[in-house]
Amino acid sequence: MNRIVAVESSKELARFIDFPHELYRDDPNYVPELFIAQQDMLSPHKHPFYEHGSVRLFLAYSNERIVGRIAAIHNQNHIDFTGNKDGFFGFFDCINDPAIAKALLQQATEWVKEKGNTNIIGPVNLSTNDTCGLLVEGFDRPPIAMMSYNAPYYAELIVGAGFKKKTDLLAYELETKEANERTLKLLDTLEARLKRNGITIRKVNLKKFAEEVPKIREVYNSAWDKNLGFVPMTPKEFDYLAKDLKLILDPNFCLVAEKDNKLIAFALGIPDINQVLIKIKRGRLLPTGIFKLLFQKKNITRLRVLTLGVVEGYRKMGIEACLYGNIIKNTYGTKITGGECSWMLEDNYLMNHAIEQINGKLYKRYRLYEKEL
């Protein structure tokens, strides 16, 4: 007998977080999320998202066995900023059973509809500032840091429940040894031209990180304001993310562009912590996971450029190329041999072209789905 149950207790929340570990137990490409991080993210009293949003978690049972999970998400900031009454679903995992998947998605749909939403989009965990998109191409390798992973059959389950494609999110692979040498050789010329216009590139100052964060947030929120589904991060949300990222931040891969002491662009590359997390059983740091995390960080060989944005009015000046070029150049002499630029909207032709110009190759594709209510 199948049934859908709302998560009400801490014990049920732990089951919700742990379900993917059981589902992907035999999948060598599955990377477990850190339990403590997921617990904080899904706890209203711990994560700043809940100051403007609400989430309802559901588990699917077949008899007494958990066979699926989903989160229904209402984001008031998204509605206020975009004017669209979109609800979201996220944290979707399910066995390959169309009836169970349909029941889960229907439950999420009904919940966001009760909140007054007229459309539902997903998967999104919790917003587009977090992990989102369903993997539809590129199942042969583990995901890189802060990117999603799922079995190939998920797409059929979601479409079978009445959802259609909204847009694709692209991930490009780039090997540093294959990066376009001409682009790197042009760095000095490009930077000299920018300098003549009063624009300089520098590393983020970790010693003054608290001063840097508000300036970076301002660039982040203005540089992406026209992207699909983007909602500006609140100061508390950005501080929450920055605090987590600082633990793995390397200033060589966290760069800003300035003009007249004002930040006009920002690029962030983070080490692929998934190379360590994949070895931490069930995402538990204790008793041994913490040691793997601490001691294996230095052996990471991949980097993810997870955000690069330029404030409007300063685009097409070569700033994007300089930021990418400097990140690539700064990998020389380190253990980093390549990485991923992600995610990029499929219709963001300017940025996609910039990555292709330095020999980036499209190797993974993620999809957002939607359904009118």
pLDDT, tens digit (0-9, with 9 covering 90-100), for 303-328: 999 888 888 888 888 888 888 888 98
Q: What is the pLDDT of residues 31-69, one digit of tens each?
A: 999 899 999 999 999 999 999 999 999 999 999 899 999
Is residue 221, in this structure, part of any structural domain at all? Answer: yes
Reduced to 3 states (helix: H, G, I; strand: E, B; else coil), residue 326 is: helix
Average pLDDT of span 339-368: 89
Lowest mean pLDDT across 2-6, 165-169, 260-264, 290-294: 290-294
Q: Which 8-state DSSP code applies to residue 153?
A: T
Q: Based on the fold, state whether residues 196 and 317 are members of the same structural domain.
A: yes
Following DSSP, what letter does each residue of 47-58 receive, concatenated?
-GGGGTEEEEEE
Q: What is the pLDDT of residues 109-130, one digit of tens each?
A: 999 999 999 999 999 999 988 9
Provide the residue range defining the domain that includes 162: 2-171
Say how far apart CA 326 and CA 59 lie, in whole Å: 46
Q: Based on the fold, state whether residues 167 and 198 are members of the same structural domain.
A: no
Our count of domains for the chain comes to: 2
- Predicted confidence at residue 41, as pLDDT, reads 94
Reduced to 3 states (helix: H, G, I; strand: E, B; else coil), residue 122 is: strand
Non-local (6+) Cβ contacts of 333 within 8 A are: none
CA distances from 179 to 174, 176, 309, 322, 357 (A): 7, 5, 20, 13, 9
pLDDT at residue 359 above 80? yes
Q: Based on the fold, state whether residues 141 and 188 are members of the same structural domain.
A: no
Q: Based on the fold, state whether residues 225 and 247 are members of the same structural domain.
A: yes
Lowest mean pLDDT across 220-224, 248-252, 258-262, 340-344: 220-224
Rounded to the nearest 10 degrees, the angle between the axes of helix 319-329 and helix 349-357 is: 40
- Predicted confidence at residue 167, as pLDDT, reads 95
Q: Based on the fold, state whether residues 212 and 356 are members of the same structural domain.
A: yes
Is residue 303, in this structure, part of any structural domain at all? Answer: yes
Q: What rounded mean pLDDT belongs to the chain?
A: 90
Q: Based on the fold, state whether residues 328 and 188 are members of the same structural domain.
A: yes
Say how far apart CA 159 and CA 113 lie, in whole Å: 19
- Is 143:135 a contact under the CB 8 Å cutoff? yes
Reduced to 3 states (helix: H, G, I; strand: E, B; else coil), residue 40 is: helix
CA distances from 352 to 40, 138, 190, 215, 357 (A): 34, 18, 20, 26, 9
Please give the single-letter amino acid code of residue 293: L
Say how far apart CA 242 and CA 237 lie, in whole Å: 9
pLDDT at residue 182 above 90? no
- From the list 53, 349, 27, 358, the residue with the least C-alpha distance to 183 is 358
Instruction: Give the residue from 142, 171, 200 where a domain finishes.
Output: 171
- Predicted confidence at residue 356, as pLDDT, reads 86
- Strand partners of residue 74: 54
Q: What is the CATH number of the domain that holds 149?
A: 3.40.630.30
